[in-house]
Amino acid sequence: IPKKIIDSFPLGILNLHPSLLPKYRGSSPIQAAILNQDKETGVTIMKLDDKMDHGPIIAQETINLNQTETAGDLQNKLAQTGADLLIKILPDYIAGKITPRAQNETKAISTKKLAKQDAKIDWNSTAHPPEPLIRAMNPWPGAWTTWRHKKLIIWSMDIDGTPKELQLEGKKKMPYSEFLKGHPGFSTHDCV
């Protein structure tokens, strides 16, 4: 948003961001928290300035992560937490009782815009094991791999690495037990 527009609002423009800024600035903070297996995340209400997710912080609220959330689940939880926080702080902000505080630039971490290729499962990666990647990419774009020359989306997986819900290219989502009926002998070890 151009500075001229931002400056035209006497109290500024408030933005609700789904991370504890300055950690995870940018467009994929929810996925980053899940991928990095963070123990907590939260929401930040900030006053917009002319840089991305850079403005002074008005309020923050932390939530604990239980390492089972999908990006969709976490987005819904953070949206509700953020809405509740905004309702709580807005009267004090309007009354001038809240002093915005600058973000600590030395702790800033940026995230990137996700692409479908970011959801490809690397079965050999130690940096991003499959299970958190699968949760981070659900509902979009869906963590995927290739099996028998077809794209296979794995929508959920147990911590032990057993798929729970899959979707073979051109087919509907199905529980792993149903998938095995049509594809006995399937193993993620055969995926690339």
Residue 131 is part of a domain; what is its CATH number? 3.10.25.10
Q: How far is CA 50 from CA 79, 86, 191, in A?
A: 24, 22, 45
pLDDT at residue 154, rounded to an integer: 98
8 in the same domain as 97: yes
Length of the chain: 192
Question: What is the amino acid identity at position 37?
Answer: Q
Question: Rounded mean pLDDT of 108-115?
Answer: 98
Q: How far apart, in whole angstroms, are the C-alpha atoms of residue 165 and residue 125? A: 21
Give 61-77 pLDDT, tens digit per residue.
999 999 999 999 999 99
pLDDT(128) > 80: no
136 in the same domain as 54: no
Tell me the CA end-to-end span of the chain in Å, nearest whole number.
42
pLDDT at residue 156, rounded to an integer: 98
141 in the same domain as 99: no
Q: How far apart, in whole angstroms, are the C-alpha atoms of residue 14 and residue 59? A: 11
157 in the same domain as 129: yes
Mean of the per-residue pLDDT values for the chain?
A: 97
pLDDT at residue 127, rounded to an integer: 78
Give the percent of the chain with pLDDT over 70.
100
131 in the same domain as 100: no
- Phi and psi for 44 in degrees, rounded to 5? -130, 130
100 in the same domain as 35: yes
Give the percent of the chain with pLDDT over 90.
94
Q: What is the pTM of this model?
A: 0.95
Q: How far apart, in whole angstroms, are the C-alpha atoms of residue 99 and residue 73? A: 32
The arrangement of strands across the sheet holding 14-17 comes to: 14-17, 40-47, 57-64
Which CATH number fits the domain that encloses residue 75?
A: 3.40.50.170
Select from 107, 135, 154 the last residue of a domain: 107
71 in the same domain as 12: yes
- Whether omega before 175 lies within 30 degrees of 0, making that bond cis, reads no
144 in the same domain as 93: no
144 in the same domain as 89: no
